[in-house]
Structure 1
Amino acid sequence: MTVEGATVLRLARGMRLREDTARGRWVVMGPERLFVPDEIALEILRLLDGARSVDAIVDSLAARYDAPRDAIGNDVTALLQDLAGRGVVAA
Structure 2
Amino acid sequence: MSADRRQGQWRPELRRSMVLRRDRTRGADILLMPERVVVLNETAARILRLCDGEHSVDDIVTELGQAFPGAPVNAEVPTFLRQVMEAGWLR
Q: Normalising by structure 1, what TM-score?
A: 0.87
Would you say 1:24 and 2:27 are equivalent positions? yes
Structure 2 gaps, min length 5: none
Would you say 1:83 and 2:81 are equivalent positions? no
Point out 4+ residue stretches in structure 1 off by more than 4 angstroms: none
- Aligned mates of 1:32, 1:80 — CA distance in 2: 22
Does the 8 Å contact 2:29/2:42 carry over to 1? no
3-state SS in 1 of match to 2:9? coil
- Aligned mates of 1:26, 1:46 — CA distance in 2: 10
Amino acid corresponding to residue 59 of structure 1 in structure 2: T
Q: Which residue of 1 aligns with 2:17?
A: 14
Q: Alignment identity in percent?
A: 35
Structure 1 gaps, min length 5: none
3-state SS in 2 of match to 1:17? strand
3-state SS in 1 of match to 2:40? coil
Amino acid corresponding to residue 83 of structure 1 in structure 2: V
Q: Aligned pair count? A: 88
Would you say 1:46 and 2:46 are equivalent positions? no
